[in-house]
Structure 1
Amino acid sequence: MTFYALGLMSGTSLDGLDICHASFKKDEAGKWNFEILNASTIPYSQELENQLRTATELSPEGLFDLHANYGFYLGEKVKDFIEKHSLKNIDLIASHGHTVFHQPKKKFTVQIGDGRAIKILTQIPVVYDFRSQDVLMGGNGAPLVPIGDELLFSEFDACLNIGGFSNISFKENQRRIAFDICPVNIVLNKFAQKLGKNFDENGDLARKGKINSEILSKLNALPYYQQDSPKSLGIEWVSEYVFPLFKTENPIDILATFTEHAALQMAAVFQKYNIKKVLFTGGGTYNKFLVERIKEHSNSEIIIPNKEIIDFKEALIFAFMGVLRSKNEINTLSSATGSSADHSSGLIV
């Protein structure tokens, strides 16, 4: 049986809404295969981007208002996408939502964008709120994409996604290990914007900057990097530990320093776990200077796939997670999140 699903993904770097339309089918050997059929990134309006960026500052009423409105926004964009591509027979929509709060130690994580609003507008079954159950089960609620790495991208030793944060997943002792490595675009975009750019295209700004070795040492010494996995990062951690180090620095030197920091942290993980062949995806893959610096510090073979996989792998995997959830099959791995057991997560409406 072939499943047709739409995956919706909004990352912490706020560059827009990713929509991925894909098919999934098991072969005779029981291996899942996929095909990306259509995919788009819909940029946010300045107003919506600002609302999402400042959502942590909203009153409870304001947050619930945005939760509902953003859900209807997602539904409208899905309807437009379906119409544009004349899609028929979609089995489900899987929506990640936009993360506002992520505090697993306090047993909560909040992704806004009410899935019921998407269902009301599209009349298609919706799976959403993938993270909360895992957090309630003692996990980090992240990373979730390792199930897709395990079942759809097993030919690579590791899968690295470079977005707002970089995260990695790989097999160790027959278990899929995954964790957030370090912040990336959530920091780089902020300081590129101080220089009038939305992001540091190709790493050209960082390439011109001067590394502050004292700050670089402080960044590399942050306790998170010595913690064992499973572990995950959120904007709260960045605000507490990273941004205060840059109070008086020139933005272009911050970009150089933080790019070097991110490259060192990713390369250190490759070396620690003896990763030979790693698939790179996510927007940070286009940062040529960052990739150069990772190569400089690492002996791993870096595989950069086609643009569709770079841009839409996460949305693809959320579509896949929705399919697994609809079959009540495991879509969240405790070895990756630290929860008490593997489980099938997500609310279905």
Structure 2
Amino acid sequence: MSTKKINIIGLMSGTSLDGLDLVYVTFDKKSYENFEIQYSETIAYSKLWKEKLAKAIDKSDEELQELDLEYGKLLAKKVNSFIKKNRIINIDFIASHGHTVLHQPEKGITLQIGDGQTLANETQQKVVCDFRTQDVKLGGQGAPLVPIGDEFLFHQYDTCLNLGGFANVSFKEQNKRIAFDICPVNIVLNYYVNTLGFDYDNKGKIASTGIINTKLLEELNSLNYYKTKPPKSLGLEWVQSTIIPLIDDKNLEIKDVLATFMEHVAIQIAASTKKCKNIFITGGGVFNEFLIKRINHHSNLEMIIPNSQIVNYKEALIFAFLGLLRVDNQVNCLSSVTGAKKDHSSGVIFTS
């Protein structure tokens, strides 16, 4: 691939189930940071698909194989609509994160559904996907993968923080990129606010009316995960087995759960970034004004929030970039981040 400009469609589906993020981005291969997101869109999941993805963790291997193919067809349908809507002609390939169903790297398990061959066949495009499996096989966490993008595309910032289903952070330490999942965020907040009939807590308004439960806050902050040094990562399984029971045991009003958990998130983010000077923040949590206020309260960082397109689509953008590195057989997984045996180029390539 010797051309200077490369055009990629990047796909990202996060654990918070906000929807499918799509970007059509052009990279300058001589200078990666000179990228341009031409088109971007978030397509919300139907109620049926939200339920399917939320409950996928409990399915059998055979059922997961069926869901993998079915979800691949859904991705293809959404991509084809995106291409048609924006009249996109030049596409070098599609890079898809898929949707994470299982993530237990300590057991050698990670699964992102969205069958690559189905996606390639239905779109008639080359597809790069399954970015995490190889890293886990090499003894790594398979996550986070976004830091390679921080290294090349956003290196001017001291620290990069993403506030999505989980909060993850990336920074340079002794000339090495270090990154890890800090704590759950929207995956927990949305779970509880859904019981009130809302998709999310708009600007954190409900949480702002709650009272912090000091007992729950102390128990959350005392969890062993926060004492573990990176590389480390989190999955839905840990949230379901550890966080949810801890919260439910207290029988609190939802507003108090939200207030307490946001305080927990703010404290953990402050603790994980105390050596940093400035912080570049992206992800849906940026729009939670109360959460940002609490993070600011607990830290002395200069907070930099980019334009809404980068806030919303940074991960889809970076998975497009991961695909670019994989197609060119360049390193896209850093051992200093994931703990794998070596740096490597991860992802499986499918052609129609």
Give TM class, smaller chain: over 0.9
Query: Equivalents in 1 of 2:160, 2:214: separation in Å?
Result: 30
Is 1:3 aligned to 2:3, yes or no? no
What is the aligned partner in structure 1 of residue 164 from structure 2? 163
Q: Which amino acid aligns with 2:64?
A: L
Kindly indicate whether the alpha-carbon contact (under 8 Å) linking 1:192 and 1:200 is maintained by their aligned counterparts in 2. yes
Maintained 8 Å contact 1:4/1:21: yes
Tell me the residue number matched to 1:20.
23
2: CA distance, partners of 1:111 / 1:26: 28
Q: Does 1:201 align with 2:234?
A: no
1:108-127 alignment runs, 5 A limit: 108-127=109-128
SS of residue in 1 equivalent to 2:160: strand
Q: Displacement, 1:33?
A: 2.0
> Within 5 A, what are the aligned runs for 1:55-134?
55-134=56-135
**CA contact 1:4–1:90 (8 Å) conserved in 2:** yes
8 Å contact 1:128–1:348 — kept in the other structure? yes
Distance 2:23 2:340 in 1: 28
Match of 2:278 in 1: 277
1:291-320 deviations in Å (ceiling 9; x for gaps): 000000110000011000000000000001
Query: 4+ runs of 1 displaced by more than 3 Å?
Result: none
Aligned to 1:45: 46
| 1:61, distance to aligned residue in structure 2 (A) | 2.1
- Counterpart CA distance in 1 for 2:71 and 2:183 is 28
Given that 2:6 and 2:29 are in contact with CA atoms closer than 8 Å, whether structure 1 keeps it comes out as no
CA distance in 2, matches of 1:35, 1:226: 39
Name the amino acid aligned to 2:175.
Q
Deviation of 1:31 after TM superposition, in Å, equals 5.1
Contact persistence 1:26–1:32 (CA under 8 A): no
Once the two structures are superposed, what CA deviation does each residue of 1:30-75 show, in whole Å capped at 9, x if it has no partner? Answer: 5542111100000000001100000011222221111100001101
Tell me what 1:143 maps to: 144
Residue 179 of structure 1 aligns to a residue in which SS? strand
**RMSD value, Cα:** 0.8
Q: TM-score, normalised by structure 2?
A: 0.97
Residue 26 of structure 1: how far off its partner (Å) = 3.3
- SS in structure 1 of the partner of residue 291 of structure 2: helix
Displacement of 1:245 in angstroms is 1.4
Counterpart position of 1:329: 330
**CA distance in 2 between partners of 1:92 and 1:73 (Å):** 18
Deviations 1:143-175 (A, max 9, x none): 000000000000000110000000000000000
The superposition leaves residues 12-41 of structure 1 with CA deviations (integer Å, 9 ceiling, x where unpaired) of 0001000011011134xx554211110000
SS at match of 1:259: helix
The Cα of 1:234 is off from its aligned counterpart by 0.5
Structure 2 residue identity aligned to 1:4: N
CA distance in 1, matches of 2:227, 2:217: 16
The answer to whether 1:260 aligns with 2:267 is: no
Once the two structures are overlaid, the 10-residue window that deviates more, 189-198 or 31-40, is: 31-40
Secondary structure in 2 matching 1:97: strand
Q: State the alpha-carbon separation in 1 of the partners of residues 120 and 53 from structure 2.
A: 21
Q: What SS does the aligned partner of 1:341 have?
A: coil
The letter for the 2-side match of 1:91 is D
Structure 1: segments with no counterpart, 5+ residues: none
Query: Are the aligned partners of 1:13 and 1:186 in contact in 2 as well (CA < 8 Å)?
Result: yes
Which AA in structure 1 matches 2:53? L
Residue 268 of structure 1 aligns with an amino acid whose one-letter code is A
Q: Report if aligned partners of 2:149, 2:318 keep a CA contact under 8 Å in 1.
A: yes
1:306 and 1:93 map into 2 onto residues whose CA distance is 24
What percentage of aligned pairs have identical amino acids?
Answer: 54
CA contact (8 A) 2:6 2:26 kept: yes
Consecutive unaligned residues in structure 2, runs of 5 or more: none
Q: Is the 8 A contact 1:281 1:310 kept in 2?
A: yes
Aligned length: 345
Alpha carbons of structure 1 residues 87 and 219: separation in structure 2 relative to 1, 3 Å:
same
CA shift, 1:77, in A, is 0.6
Deviation track 1:87-112 (CA, whole Å, cap 9, x = no partner) reads 11200100000000001111120000
SS state of the match for residue 106, structure 2? helix
SS in 1 for 2:26: strand
SS at match of 1:189: helix
Change (3 A) 1:307 1:32: closer
Cα contact 2:33–2:154 (8 A) shared by 1: no
Bigger mean CA deviation after superposition, 53-62 or 39-48:
53-62
TM-score for the superposition, normalised by structure 1: 0.98
Give 1:217 shift.
0.3
